[in-house]
Amino acid sequence: MIKCAYCETSEEAVKAGKTACGSQRYKCKSCGRRFTPEPRQMYSDELRLQAVKLSVDGVSFRRIGRHLGVDHVTVMNWVKAYSNQLPDAPMPTERPLHVVEMDELYTFIGKKKTGST
């Protein structure tokens, strides 16, 4: 018999429809709450990972949603959940760094500001 996820009674749960992805829903007669004891994933892990990769490449959430056929808020939730699983960034070193890299654009603009050609 199915136990209620909230009040833990097993005698009072009755079937109460299905979710959008096909999981069986139940309603507890004693507390009146609905619950799904074994929920299924609506979208595959490959689709979620593809959305995260597209987001890292700089594609907007709405465009990813249109491309994959899911809501843009769902894509944002997937990216947020993935980023929460990443390890924390390492702490910066206490010593100041002495290496500085300059690119061509900086030197070009620097020459323009001084008026030399």
Domain assignment present for residue 55? The answer is: yes
Q: What is the pLDDT of residue 109?
A: 60
Q: What is the pLDDT of residue 114?
A: 56
Asked if 36 and 51 sit in the same domain, the reply is: no
Which DSSP string do the residues of the chain spell out, in sequence order? Answer: -PPPTTT--SSSEEEEEE-TTSPEEEEETTT--EE-SSPPPSS-HHHHHHHHHHHHTT--HHHHHHHHTS-HHHHHHHHHHHHHHSPPPPPPPSSPP------HHHHHHHHHHHT--
Domain assignment present for residue 32? The answer is: yes
Report the alpha-carbon distance of residue 75 to residue 71 in Å, rounded.
Answer: 7
Mean pLDDT highest for which of 8-22, 28-42, 43-57, 77-91? 43-57
Domain assignment present for residue 90? The answer is: no
Q: What is the pLDDT of residue 74?
A: 94
Q: What is the pLDDT of residue 112?
A: 62
pLDDT class for 58, splitting at 50, 70, 90? very high
Residue with tokens 């069986």: 24
Asked if 51 and 35 sit in the same domain, the reply is: no
Q: What is the pLDDT of residue 55?
A: 95
Asked if 30 and 49 sit in the same domain, the reply is: no
Mean pLDDT of 46-61: 95
Mean pLDDT of 63-72: 95
Asked if 53 and 71 sit in the same domain, the reply is: yes
Asked if 21 and 55 sit in the same domain, the reply is: no
